[in-house]
Amino acid sequence: MTETATTSDVKADTVLRLEDVVVERGGRQVVRGVSIDVTPGEVTALLGPNGAGKSSLVLAVGGVLRPARGSISLGSDDLTGRRPERIRQAGVAVVPEGRRLLPLLTVRENLGVACYSLTRQEAKTGMSSALELFPELQKRLDVAGRLLSGGEQQMLVLAQALVSQPKFIFIDELSLGLAPVVVQRLLPTLREVAERGVGILLIEQFATVALGVANRAYIMEGGRIQFSGLTSELKKDPSLLHSAYLLRGSVGANGGAAGQSAPAAG
């Protein structure tokens, strides 16, 4: 993937910035002073072993967890501690792991729920744009969410996030439980969304999936950022990934390795 401008080349008022973020769960720190920049028009990967704190960080960005310290901002707009609906209104959409949709509602109804804060015209435009990205859903509009395949459910939760036409989208575990052929179907769509100017943070359990689509990457371990740089640096020096227990041998998009499997990210 072509490398793009550095973060310093991007206008500060367009960057989603996490600074010294601390998140506590169960009386202990699971995110310890994390700073990350997500720039518009790029896919940024967040990698790390199980229990690294990545999902907790995403929940903090989405307003589900309140940071104990630090700030989350979009330009001069401080998003720290806001409620989830206010964060979405500011232009930040979060897709948590687990394909969380309303299983008894149809595809059309699930998309409609995601439009609750939009005007009628905004909802029409957003749904049209989302269905253009996922034409498979167009044929399943009147099918209940629980009857969709795993791949279709993942498309639906992504479409739900995209109907509001966000400036940024955080995607936690895109490939979890999906066949490699489905993952390969989704990755070009992420590139297309980024090319439209949306900033994407991709939290992914399999490093090769994320590195195949991302411009830059962070490695998180023990609640801290251990690496920040271009994905090309990680490809040139696999030891950086080995040190975070991400890769043991040659890991493929389906998680298979030479006699071993890649640990899941957490």
| Confidence class for position 10, pLDDT limits 50, 70, 90 | low
Q: Which long-range contacts (CB under 8 A, 24 or more apart) does 72-77 make?
A: 72/16, 72/17, 72/18, 72/19, 72/21, 73/16, 73/17, 73/19, 74/15, 74/16, 74/17, 74/167, 74/168, 75/12, 75/13, 75/14, 75/15, 76/13
Structural domains in the chain, sorted by start? 1-91+166-266 (3.40.50.300), 103-163 (no CATH)
The share of the chain scoring above pLDDT 90, in percent, equals: 56
Count of Cβ atoms closer than 10 Å to residue 11 Cβ:
9
- Cα 167 to chain centroid, rounded: 13
What predicted TM-score, i.e. pTM, was given to this entire model? Answer: 0.83
At 4 the pLDDT is: 44
Specify the higher pLDDT residue, 260 or 68. 68
Q: b or e along 185-221 (b: 16 or more beta carbons within 10 Å of the residue's beta carbon)?
A: bbbeebeebbeeebbbbbbbbbbbbbbbbbbbbbbbb
Residues β-bridged to residue 256: 261
State whether residue 141 is helix, strand or coil: coil
Q: b or e along 100-128 (b: 16 or more beta carbons within 10 Å of the residue's beta carbon)?
A: ebeeeebbeebbeebbeebeeeebeebbe
pLDDT tens across 56-101, in order? Answer: 999 999 999 999 999 999 999 999 989 998 999 999 999 988 778 8
For the residues 206-224, what does the mean pLDDT come to? 88
For the residues 129-156, what does the mean pLDDT come to? 93
pLDDT tens across 240-258, in order? Answer: 777 665 544 333 434 433 3
At 49 the pLDDT is: 81
Max Cα-Cα span within the chain: 53
The secondary structure of residue 56, as a DSSP letter, is H
At 259 the pLDDT is: 31
For the residues 33-59, what does the mean pLDDT come to? 92
